[in-house]
Amino acid sequence: PPRENGSPVNPPVVLSSTYFGRGPVTAGGRGYARYSNPSWEPFEEALSELEGAAEPGLVYSSGLGAAASALSLVPAGGVVVMPDHSYGGTVALAENMAEHGAFTLRLVNIADTDAVLAQLRGEGPPAAGEGTGSAQEPDGTAGTGAAANMLWVESPTNPMLEVADFRAVTAAARELGALVVADNTFSTPLVQQPLNLGADVVLHSVTKYLAGHSDVVLGALVTSDPDLRATLLTHRSKHGSIAGPFEVWLALRGLRTLALRIERSQASAAVLANRLLEQPQVSAVRYPGLSNDPGHARAKAQMDGFGSIVAIEMVGGAAAADALVERLQLWMPATSLGGVESLIERRRRHTNEPESVPESLIRMSVGIEHVDDLWADLAQALEAL
C-alpha cells in the first residue's frame, strides 16, 4: 500500500461483490467483482513482477480454471502438443476438450526434443493421444499433417521430473506461429522464468508453492502480451472462474515467504536425493539436481536451481512403495505439493495416472522441516522394509 502515515502495512482484503459508481462502466472498470477486485490486484502485480512480465497477472479460482482459460486460446479445430506426463488434471481437461471437438491433442515426451519438433510440425506417426478432436484428414482419420497451434510445456514434468530443452522447443513453436504455454508450478518464478525462455503465457497452480500453506485452491496466468491478457481476462470474466478475495489475500501472504520456503525446501531436496541414491531398497532416484539425472544438464542451463520435488522407485514394486509410505510418521501421505509440510504418495494409487508412470514411483514434495528429521523418518521406514 502507499507509504503514508496511518496506512496499513499489508493490502487489506475487500469483501464486496459490487462497487459504487455512476455513468458508463468501461472494460476492466470497477463495477462488479467478477470483472475486477482490489484484493486480487496486489497478488497479480507481485506475481507478474516475479515472472518478469510486462502485464499484470490474472488470478483464477483454481489451477485447472487457469488451464481452461489458456486452452481457450487454441482456435477451433486446432492442434495442441502437450507433454504426456503433464499434471493429470491438465491432460484430462485437454482430452475432454479434444473429445468434444475443440482441438486435436498430441501427447509427447517433452524431454525428447526431436519428437516434440516432429509433433509441432505434424510430421511422423501420430503421437499418443492423436486421433481425438476435430482436426482430421479428408478420409476421416486424424491428421498429423497440420502444424500445432499451441505447445504446452511442463518442465520438470509431474511426476516423472523430465526436463524439456525449453529454448529449442519454444523457438520451434514460434517459427510455426504456435503459442507456448508453460506450467511453472513446480519451479516457481524463483527457479525458472519461462517468459525469458520463449513462453507466451505462464501458468501456476497457486495452490502449491506460491500460496505455500495447503489452505487455498487458486490458479494464475501471466503474460507480457497485452492482447493475450485482454483475451484471457475476457474469458475469465465471461466463464466466471474467479477467485474469492480472502483466498487471494492468503496467497499474497504466502508469497511473502516464498523465497525462504524455496531456499529451505530445495536445499533439503538435494540432500535427501543424494542420500536416497545410497539406499538398497531404492531402485531409482529422479531429481534434476543429481549429476547423473537425464535432465541435469538442461536444468542447470535454464533454471536457477533444481526444485523441491524428488521422485523415487522402489525395489519390490508397488507393495514396497505402499509399505514405505505407511511406515512414515513425519512425512504426510497426501496428493498435493508445495506446502510447508513434506508430502508423499505413490502416484499410481490414482487410477487415472498414465501407465508409463512406474507402479512403484513415489513423489516426494519436500517441505521446510529440518532435513535431518525428514531423513530420520525416511531411514526408519526404509529399514523396516
Where in the sequence numbering do the catalytic residues fall?
34, 87, 183, 208
Closest CA relative to residue 308, chosen from 354, 263, 349, 345: 263
Closest CA relative to residue 272, chosen from 236, 309, 231: 309
Closest CA relative to residue 30, chosen from 39, 14, 40, 18: 18
Main-chain phi, psi angles of 180, to 5 degrees: -115, 120
Sign of CA dihedral 170, 172, 175, 178: negative
- Supply 156's cell numbers: 520438470
On the CB side of 295, CA atoms within 13 Å amount to 26
Angstrom distance (rounded) from CA 184 to CA 298: 16
CA distances from 76 to 30, 62, 132, 145, 329 (A): 32, 24, 13, 17, 50
